[in-house]
C-alpha cells in the first residue's frame, strides 16, 4: 500500500487503513504486534518454499498458545480491489495481487486450488481454458493470452470484465465471439492500413512474438467461434496460406481496389478504361502517394497498377506473412485452395439480402406476421454500418457466422416491449405487438 494507491482509492468511498508497523514508539501495543507477526510470515519466501516446515511450526505454536483467528487469513479472503483503468499499468499493484493469490493457493486447507484458467475434464475430452478480457483493454489482454503457443491445446471460454472491473453476466460461444470481434475492430484501426480491405503494417514496438500471437488469434477465432476477420486483404492471406505464386493479377488488383478509397478506385478504373488521362494531375498525385517511379502512359498503366498493388499488399507486409505462415497452416484443412478462401469471403460479407435470408420465423397470428414484415423492412433500410451493428446485436459478430437467425415472438407490455437477442443461439426475441411502436 503506497501513497499513490491510497489517493486513488479515496475517491471511491471511505477507506480505512491500519498500519502494520507503528509510526511512533508510543503507538506500539500488543494488538499491533499480533497483526504484524502472521502478516510477515504469510509474505515470507521461506513459507512459500517450505510449506511442510510451516505446518509443523504452526502446530507447535498451537500447543503452547490458545487458538485464535489468523488476521492474515481474513486479509486474504476479503473482496478483491475494484478495477481502475488509470491503474492498469501499475506493475507493483499487479505483482502484489499475484502474490496474494499465490499465497492463498499455498495455504488453502484443501490443497492447491484450481486457478480458474482450466476446467476439469474426463478421459478423451479437450481441456477448456477460461480467458478473462477487460473490455477497455481487449487488444493488450488478447495479445498477452495468445502469446503462449500452448493455447492451441485448449478449447476456449471467455469472460468479459466491464469498465467497473466486474465480470459481465454472459457466458458461452456468443461471449467468445464478441471478444474476437472487439479485438479485430481495435486491431484494424491500430495496426493495419487500408479501407475495405487492410494489410498489417510494420511497427517498431511489434516483434515476432506479437505478430505470431495475432496469427493464433486469427486461427482460434475461426476454429472456435467461426469468426473470420473479413477486412484483412484476401490477396495477402492467400500469400500467407499458399505462397506468392497462388495469387493472380486479377485477384491482386481486386484487393488493391478495396485497399484504396472509393474515389481512388474510380480513378484507377477510369484510367484503365481510358476515360481519365494517365497524365492528369489527379492521377499523378495518386501515383506519387505510392512513390511510383515510372511515367505512366496508356500502354503500361495496367502493369504499373499491378506493380504498385504488389508492393503495397505483398512486399510491405512480408515480415508479417513470414510470421503467420506456419500458424495459418492450421487453416488449410478448411481452405485447401484459393477458390475456397474466395468463397469464404463471399459468404461472410453481410448484405441486406443475405441477412434477410437468414431469418427463420413461424408467425402464428396476424400481429406476428405484421411484426416480421416490419423487421424485414427495417433490415432492408440499413446501410453498411448499421447492418454490421444489427449483426453485432444478434450474433455478437460483424460478419455472418450462422445459417439461420431464429425469430421468436413474445408477449410483453409497457417498457418490457423491446427486442432481446441471444447471441449464443443466434435468436432474436421480438414482441408480437412490436409493430405498434413503429
pLDDT of residue 415: 74
pLDDT mean over 272-293: 89
Neighbours of 178 (CB within 10 A): 24
pLDDT of residue 433: 75
Cβ pair 258, 235 in contact under 8 A: no
Would you place residue 19 in the very low, low, confident or very high pLDDT band (cuts 50, 70, 90)? low
Q: Round to whole Å and give the CA distance between 172 and 182.
A: 16
pLDDT mean over 12-31: 55
Q: Round to whole Å and give the CA distance between 438 and 427.
A: 21
Where is pLDDT greater, at 55 or 384? 384
pLDDT of residue 169: 86
Q: In the chain, what is the straight-line distance between the N-terminal and C-terminal CA atoms, in Å? A: 56
Cβ pair 430, 408 in contact under 8 A: yes
Tens digit of each residue's pLDDT (9 = 90 or more) over 330-355:
999 999 999 999 999 999 999 999 99
Would you place residue 182 in the very low, low, confident or very high pLDDT band (cuts 50, 70, 90)? very high
* CB neighbour class for 84 (10 Å; exposed up to 12, middle 13-18, buried from 19): middle
User: How many Å is the Cα radius of gyration of the chain?
Assistant: 29
Where is pLDDT greater, at 354 or 65? 354
Tens digit of each residue's pLDDT (9 = 90 or more) over 100-141:
333 233 333 333 333 345 555 555 678 899 999 999 999 999
- Stretch(es) of the chain classified as CATH 3.90.1750: 115-348
Residue 56 has pLDDT above 60, yes or no: no
pLDDT of residue 119: 53
Tens digit of each residue's pLDDT (9 = 90 or more) over 205-242:
999 999 999 999 999 999 999 999 999 999 999 999 99
Residue-averaged pLDDT of the chain: 78
pTM here is 0.69
Look up residue 24 and give its DSSP letter.
Answer: S
pLDDT mean over 299-322: 93
pLDDT of residue 18: 65
| CATH number for the segment(s) 115-348 | 3.90.1750
Would you place residue 274 in the very low, low, confident or very high pLDDT band (cuts 50, 70, 90)? confident
pLDDT of residue 293: 87
pLDDT mean over 141-159: 94
pLDDT of residue 10: 61
**Long-range Cβ contact pairs of 79-83 (< 8 A, separation 24 or more):** 81/9, 82/12, 82/164, 82/165, 83/134, 83/161, 83/164, 83/165, 83/166
pLDDT mean over 53-72: 41
Would you place residue 435 in the very low, low, confident or very high pLDDT band (cuts 50, 70, 90)? low
pLDDT mean over 381-387: 92
Q: Round to whole Å and give the CA distance between 353 and 350.
A: 8
Would you place residue 58 in the very low, low, confident or very high pLDDT band (cuts 50, 70, 90)? very low
- The mean-pLDDT minimum among 40-49, 192-201, 219-228 falls in 40-49
pLDDT of residue 120: 53
Q: In 3D, which of 325, 117, 320, 334 has the Cα closest to residue 221?
A: 334
pLDDT of residue 9: 61
pLDDT of residue 210: 96
pLDDT mean over 19-36: 50
pLDDT mean over 46-64: 41
Q: Round to whole Å and give the CA distance between 8 and 192.
A: 36
Helix ranges (H only) for 290-438 are 301-310, 318-328, 338-348, 352-358, 366-380, 384-395
Residue 28 has pLDDT above 60, yes or no: no
3-class SS of residue 256? helix
- Stretch(es) of the chain classified as CATH 3.30.2410.10: 352-437
Report the CATH fold assignment for 352-437: Hect, E3 ligase catalytic fold (3.30.2410)
Q: In 3D, which of 166, 171, 160, 168 has the Cα closest to residue 135?
A: 160
Cβ pair 209, 140 in contact under 8 A: no
**Widest pairwise Cα distance in the chain:** 100
Q: In 3D, which of 170, 166, 4 has the Cα closest to residue 89?
A: 4
Q: Which residue has the cell 446501410?
A: 383
Where is pLDDT greater, at 107 or 303? 303
pLDDT of residue 134: 94
Amino acid at each position: 500500500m503506497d501513497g499513490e494507491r491510497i489517493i486513488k482509492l479515496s475517491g471511491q468511498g471511505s477507506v480505512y487503513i491500519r498500519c502494520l508497523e507503528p509510526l511512533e514508539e508510543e503507538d506500539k501495543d500488543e494488538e499491533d504486534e499480533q497483526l504484524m507477526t502472521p502478516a510477515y510470515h504469510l509474505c515470507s519466501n521461506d513459507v512459500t518454499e517450505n510449506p511442510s516446515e510451516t505446518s509443523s511450526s504452526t502446530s507447535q505454536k498451537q500447543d503452547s498458545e490458545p487458538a485464535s483467528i489468523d488476521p492474515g487469513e481474513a486479509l486474504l479472503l476479503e473482496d478483491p480491489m475494484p478495477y481502475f483503468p488509470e491503474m492498469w499499468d501499475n506493475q507493483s499493484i499487479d505483482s502484489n495481487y499475484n502474490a496474494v493469490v499465490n499465497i492463498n493457493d499455498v495455504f488453502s486447507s484443501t490443497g492447491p486450488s484450481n486457478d480458474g484458467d482450466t476446467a476439469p475434464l474426463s478421459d478423451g475430452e479437450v481441456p477448456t481454458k477460461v480467458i478473462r478480457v477487460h473490455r477497455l483493454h481487449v487488444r493488450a489482454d488478447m495479445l498477452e493470452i495468445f502469446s503462449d503457443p500452448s493455447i492451441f491445446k485448449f478449447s476456449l471460454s471467455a469472460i468479459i470484465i466491464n469498465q467497473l472491473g466486474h465480470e459481465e453476466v454472459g457466458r458461452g460461444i456468443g461471449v467468445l465471439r464478441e471478444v474476437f470481434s472487439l479485438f479485430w475492430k481495435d486491431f484494424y484501426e491500430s495496426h493495419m492500413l487500408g479501407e475495405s480491405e487492410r494489410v498489417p503494417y510494420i511497427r517498431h514496438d511489434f516483434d515476432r512474438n506479437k505478430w505470431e500471437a495475432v496469427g493464433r488469434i486469427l486461427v482460434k477465432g475461426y476454429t472456435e467461434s467461426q469468426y473470420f476477420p473479413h477486412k484483412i486483404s484476401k490477396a495477402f492471406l492467400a500469400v500467407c496460406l499458399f505462397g506468392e505464386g497462388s495469387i493472380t493479377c486479377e485477384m491482386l488488383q481486386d484487393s488493391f481496389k478495396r485497399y484504396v478509397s472509393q474515389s481512388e478506385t474510380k480513378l484507377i478504373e477510369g484510367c484503365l478504361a481510358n476515360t481519365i488521362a494517365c497524365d492528369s494531375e489527379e492521377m499523378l498525385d495518386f501515383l506519387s502517394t505510392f512513390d511510383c517511379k515510372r511515367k505512366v502512359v496508356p500502354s503500361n498503366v495496367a502493369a504499373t497498377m499491378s506493380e504498385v498493388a504488389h508492393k503495397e499488399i505483398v512486399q510491405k507486409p512480408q515480415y508479417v506473412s513470414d510470421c503467420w505462415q506456419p500458424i495459418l497452416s492450421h487453416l488449410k484443412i478448411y481452405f485447401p485452395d484459393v477458390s475456397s478462401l474466395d468463397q469464404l469471403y463471399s459468404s461472410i460479407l453481410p448484405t441486406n439480402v443475405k441477412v434477410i435470408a437468414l431469418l427463420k420465423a413461424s408467425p402464428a397470428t396476424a400481429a406476428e406476421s405484421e411484426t416480421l414484415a416490419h423487421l424485414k423492412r427495417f433490415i432492408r433500410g440499413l446501410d453498411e454500418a448499421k447492418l454490421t451493428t444489427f449483426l453485432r446485436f444478434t450474433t455478437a459478430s460483424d460478419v455472418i457466422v450462422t445459417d439461420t437467425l431464429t425469430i421468436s415472438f413474445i408477449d410483453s407490455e409497457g417498457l418490457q416491449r423491446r427486442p432481446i437477442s441471444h447471441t449464443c443461439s443466434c435468436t432474436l426475441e421480438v414482441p408480437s405487438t412490436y409493430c405498434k411502436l413503429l
